[in-house]
Each structure stands twice: as structure tokens, then as C-alpha cells.
Amino acid sequence: MNLNQIFTNQRTGNNPNTKASRTDFQRDFDRIIFSSAFRRLQNKTQVFPLPGSVFVHNRLTHSLEVSSVGRSLGSVMGEFIHDQHKNDLTEDAKNFYLHSLGNVVAAACLCHDVGNPAFGHSGEDAIASYFERNESDLKPKFNDREWADLVNFEGNANAIRVLAQQQQGKDAGGIQLTFSTLASIAKYPCEAIARNKGFIHRKKFGFFQNEKDIFLEIAKGTNLISESEEPYIFKRHPFVWLVEAADDICYNIIDMEDAHRLGIVSTADCKNLFFELVKSETDDVQRIENKLNCISNENEQISYLRAKVINALINQSLEMYKQNFDKILEGSLDKALLDLYKTENKTLQDIESFSIEKIYNHKAVVEIENAGYNVMYELLDHFIPSILKHEDERKSYDKKALKLLPQQFVYKNGTDYQKVLGIIDFVSGMTDNYATDLYRKIKGIDIGMTM
């Protein structure tokens, strides 16, 4: 990939850029911050049930922290690219890598989870399995590519839709981000049908059929390397690796800190795992031990070590990016940066194994996943059968169900596929609380008027 041609300030919606005190990429960051999709992340589960008596991370606080780490990664790598390749860079490219790459990565990190439904990954599973469990009734209504989108519902693909598609009655291009920022969140730049046609290295996908044309514009604007046009598969954009690393760093470490605050993980276990990783990455162990001895509060001790661990992982991610930069540019790297580091550092492997056993399979986490799965499934089942009926065939209960839909999610003149995507937009955009409240009302668990 040509380093001069992988970034652009071109936006979705053909929105012309205007002269302002902010760069186009800073404007991306600000647009995301003020978007309703981002705001709703404050009441979407990261791992642990919300709300609780002890404050833990939700999707919004997680995204803010990922963005902070991403800005650091992007800024340092921008300087590296500028210094190592300045003889090959145009003046615009030099300016971009020195001053804007950090902003692009930060903006992409900020919105990397906006396509995720309520209740974490169980919400994704509920949407996908709704179609799988109702295949005999539903599959004949869609073509193979559309069906692949639905039965493999993916939050990453949904993020592109949330950010870039035009809802009913709203402006074209979604929140009109630059192609550079959108390309940076495309971890799986292929269509869903690819995973069903032998492309086994693609576990997930990056865009729905409805947004295929938008994604092809993004790919063209940022010069993504094409692997296949039938089905469409692209190599990852080089900035994706930095966004992914920022996310991996945060969830690997912050979930452990949250579990400690909730009493799921003991201070001794958390402290030992964090300290072992820090010791493997620094020669200044004595100073860190002295600092810990000055802190009597256990939560503050863990917070201090967490900061040290994140710093160590940032440095290692940067090193992995630099070592594999040529592979990243040619699209041949097949492992995430933290996965590369994990092969060299047993402590990070231990943290991951410990988290799977003690945190992600903890009763409280499993309970919210089960509850969330059922809530999301039942909401889809309330709306989808009704939306797929012809207007003349709809009974009274169908019409009443559809009256609950905000108009921006109703595509009256759309195909069955587009109508169903509208329902998915509505349900996947819900917060945990809103989804739970609506579920209780339509099931008759809560009856009464609320304003």
C-alpha cells in the first residue's frame, strides 16, 4: 500500500469539507462524541451487569479509554512513519502522519463499538440465532447474501451501518465521517457470504449488503488491497491494527480491574498477574515496589499497576507494529499485535486464561448474557413477523406492534431485507435498560402508563 494514498478527508454523504480551526479528523472525533449512537453506549453492558452498587465500565467508558490508548499509538506511529519514510512521502502525507494519524485512530477507537447491541456479545448472538432458529419461515424471503448478513449478524458490520447509512428522514451519509476513520474500524473487510465460501480466515464480516456500495467507496478512497471481488474481500487497512491493539489492551486489563472492584478477583491474584507482566517489561522493579508500599488502598494499588501494565502493552504493541510494518502494508500479517506479543510473554497468556475462567464465566456475567439473549430474541420476535407481512395481511396486533417503531426505522417502500434491517437498527440500538423495559411491557410484566 502506498503511504501517500491510504488516507483521505473524503466523507460519506458527499458532504463538502469546510475551512475551520479543526482538522477534518478532529471533526470526526467531535461528531462521534455528540452522536446519539455514542451517547447510548453509556447504558450498554461491557462485561458486568449495569447498574451496580460498584461502578464498573460500560461501553462508553470503555470506548473513551480505548480512544485514549489509540491516540497514543497513532501519534507515536505517525512519527515513526514520518521519520522512516519521509523521502517517499508528499508534504500532505508528512503533515498527516505527524499531526493527524493520532486523531484518526482516536476517532476510530471512539466509535468501534457503536454497532454492538445491548447485553454484550449475547445481544449479537440473539440477533443471529433469531434468524437461524426461524430459518424455514424466513430464509425464502431473502437472497443468499442477505441471509448471510442476518444469520451471522456482526457488530462490526453494524457499526459501519450505524455511522454511514441514511435513516428515514435524516441526512445522507449518517454522521458523515471521513473514509479514513471508517476504514480504520473495518477489522473484517469482507461481505458475510465470504465466510460461507471457503474463506475460512474470515471469521466475521465488515459490512451488510445494504451498505456494500458505501463500503466500496471507502475501500476505493483509502486504496484497500482487494483479495476478491466475488465475494468482496479486502486486506485490512494499516490503521486497523492500531485500533484493534488499543481495544485488546483495554479489555484484557480493565476487565480484570473491574472484577477486582466487584470482589470477583482477589487482590492477591490481580496484583500478582499485573506485577508479573510489569516486571517482564521494566528494569525498574524496585521503584514500582516502593511505590506500591506507599499505597495502602488495595483498589489504588491495582489502579497503579493497571496503568503500568497498559503502558507496557502500548510499548509492546508499537514494537510489534514496527517489526511487522512491511507485512501490515502488504496485507500479509495474520495475527493481532497483542497476539504476536502473547507468544513471547506467558504472563499475558495467564491473564487471558484467568479472565476466561474467573471473569467471563462468572455467574453474574453468565446470568446477564442469558437474560440479554432472551430479551433481544423476544423483541425481534415481536416486530419482525409483523413487518414482513403485507399491509393487507396485517392483523390488529401486527399494527399495534408496528406503532411502537420510531419512523426512522420504518422502510415502507423497502425490500423485506431493508425492512428487517430497520427492525434490527431499532433493537440493536437500544440500551440495556430500554430493551429490558420494553420487553417487560410487551410481555405484560409491567403494565401502566409512563411518560
For 172-213, the pLDDT digits (tens) are 778 899 999 999 999 999 999 987 554 444 578 999 999 999
Question: What does each C-alpha distance from 45 to 71, 229, 437 come to in angstroms?
Answer: 24, 37, 15
Mean pLDDT within 63-88: 96
Q: How confident is the model at residue 448 (pLDDT cuts 50, 70, 90)?
A: low
Query: For residue 80, with 0-12 CB atoms within 10 Å meaning exposed, 13-18 middle and 19 or more buried, which class applies?
Result: middle
* 3-state secondary structure string across 312-332: HHHHHHHHHHHHCHHHHHHCC
From the list 18, 73, 129, 12, the residue with the least C-alpha distance to 338 is 73
3-state DSSP percent of the chain in helix, strand and coil, to 5: 65, 5, 35
Number of neighbouring beta carbons within 10 Å of residue 51 = 11
CA gap 150, 131 in Å, rounded: 7
**Residues near 414 by Cβ (< 8 Å), separated by ≥ 6?**
422
Measure Cα distances from 369 to 227, 432, 434 in Å. 36, 11, 16
CB 347 within 8 A of CB 312: no
Per cent of the chain over pLDDT 70 is: 93
Q: At what angle do helices 120-133 and 416-428 cross, to 10 degrees?
A: 150
**pLDDT exceeds cutoff 60 at 50:** no
> CA-based Rg of the chain, rounded to a whole angstrom?
23
pLDDT digits (tens, 9 = 90+) for 295-315: 889 999 999 999 999 999 999
What pLDDT, on a 0 to 100 scale, did the predictor assign at position 199?
A: 44
State mean pLDDT over 260-267: 89
| Contact in structure between 259 and 251 (CB atoms under 8 Å) | no
- Average pLDDT score over residue span 8-23: 76
- For residue 15, what is the DSSP state? P
Q: What is the pLDDT of residues 339-390, one digit of tens each?
A: 999 888 888 888 889 888 888 888 888 888 898 899 999 999 999 999 999 9
| DSSP states along 357-416 | HHTTTSHHHHHHHHHHHHHHHHHHHHHHHHHTS-GGG--HHHHHHHTTS-GGG--TTS-H
The pLDDT, as a whole number, for residue 399 is 93
Averaged pLDDT, 121-134: 93
- Where b means 16+ CB within 10 Å and e means fewer, 100-118 reads bbbbbbbbbbbbbbbbbbb
Question: What's the average model confidence in pLDDT over 224-253?
Answer: 94
Whole-number average pLDDT of the chain: 90
What phi and psi values does residue 227 have, to the nearest 5 degrees?
-95, -35
Tell me the C-alpha distance between 142 and 126, whole Å: 19
Structure pTM? 0.92
| pLDDT at residue 5, rounded to an integer | 95
